[in-house]
Each structure stands twice: as C-alpha cells, then as structure tokens.
Amino acid sequence: MDITELILFQHEEQRRQFAVLDEIAGEGSEILGALWRRLAAFLEVHAEAEELYFYPEVLRLGHGAPGTHDGPEPETEDAIKDHNEIRDGIRTADANPVGSDGWWAGVRAARKANDEHMGEEEREDLADFRLHADLQTRHDIAVKFIAYEARHWAGIKPVDKDPEQYVEQHS
Ligand SMILES: [Fe+2]
Ligand SMILES: [Fe+2]
C-alpha cells in the first residue's frame, strides 16, 4: 500500500459521492440525509486520519511543495486551514433540515472547500511526499490510516485545529 495512492483514491470517492447528491436531489430527505451522513463522516474521518498520520510525516520528511523552497510548514498550515473549512461546511449543513436551502448551502460550501483542498493536497503535499518518503514509510502510514478509518467508520466528533499550533506541535 502507499498512502499517496490511498489518499488519491479516497479523493475520487469523495468527488463521486458529492456527484451522487446532485443525482438524488429530488428523492426526498430520508435518502438524501442517509447519503450525506455517510459522506460527511467519510470527509471528517479522512481529514482526521491525515492530521494524525500523514501531515506529521510531511512535516518530518517533506521539503515543501515542488517548485518552491518554503519547506513543508506552509503547505501543512494550508491543509489544516482547509480541513477546518470543510468541517465548517459540514456543520452548516447539519444545522439545517436535510434538503432545505440552508442544508444545500452547507453541502455546497463543504464541496467547494473540499474540491479546492484536494487539488492543492494532490499538487503539493502528495507530490512532495512521493519525492521524499520511501515506499516502506508510505506503506506503514497507509496501514495506520486505513486502520483508523476502519475503527471510526461511523464517524467521529470533528475537532478544528489551529494551523500554526498544529505545525508547532508536530515540527
Ligand atoms: Fe485528503
Ligand atoms: Fe486533506
């Protein structure tokens, strides 16, 4: 296994699950709510697993986004900030009745934040890690990551992190 492949694959699954919500917009709140709950839990657990197992190793082994000389700190801060924005969108959706305008606004905010974040994460953090972490390390992180997700498949209580504090704690 390779954590960079696993994350990439899960991003595709997230895009697909958001697209499914478009398809079933008219199917009623019970179906919409069930599919949204699964996606929201997936997004939150994926972000938390990255914060627990991937980004500490990016800070340890990364050299920064390819083409820059900034080191891994700014790209990690960006990622944590993005994760907080994704969590914000989920919270907005969950504060509104499923299928209402407020709910869709939260879902769209989470989707937009996630789309922008995945692009950046793939271009910068995953690319940095492929260049600077060996395959055994990438395998070991993938195992911890997927085991965490399996243990928390039904979801977690999402916790925002202060990006600067996170980088300080893990540097
Ligand atoms: Fe990700
Ligand atoms: Fe992420």
- Tell me, yes or no, if the pTM score tops 0.75: yes
What is the distance in A from the centroid of ligand 1 to the CA of 118? Answer: 6
Could you say which ligand is closest to the alpha carbon of residue 3? Answer: 1
Q: Which residues of 1-32 are buried (b: 16+ CB within 10 A; e: fewer)?
A: ebbbebbeebbeebeebbeebeeeeeeeeeeb
Q: What is the dihedral of CA 23, 26, 87, 128, to 10 degrees?
A: 10
Q: Is the pLDDT of residue 22 over 90?
A: yes
Nearest ligand to the CA atom of 4: 1
- Please give the Cα distance from 7 to 146 (Å, whole number): 10
Domain segments of the chain as ranges:
3-170
| 46 CA → ligand 1 middle, Å | 6
Does residue 69 have a pLDDT over 90? no
Summarised one tens digit per residue, pLDDT across range 121-168 is: 999 999 999 999 999 999 999 999 999 999 999 999 999 999 999 999
Nearby residues for ligand 1 (ion, Cβ within 5 Å)? 7
Burial 82-117 (b: 16+ CB within 10 A, else e): bbbbbbbbbebbeeeebbeeebbebbebbbebbeeb
d(CA 55, ligand 2 centre) in Å: 9
pLDDT digits (tens, 9 = 90+) for 78-118: 999 999 999 999 999 999 999 999 999 999 999 999 999 99
pLDDT value of position 60? 97
Ligand 1 centroid distance, CA of 10 (Å): 7
- CA 54 to ligand 2 centroid distance, Å: 9
Give the span between the Cα atoms of 69 and 57, in whole angstroms: 18
126: closest CA among 80, 71, 68, 58? 58
User: Of 88, 70, 71, which Cα lies nearest the Cα of 80?
Assistant: 88
Instruction: Output the pLDDT for position 165.
Output: 98
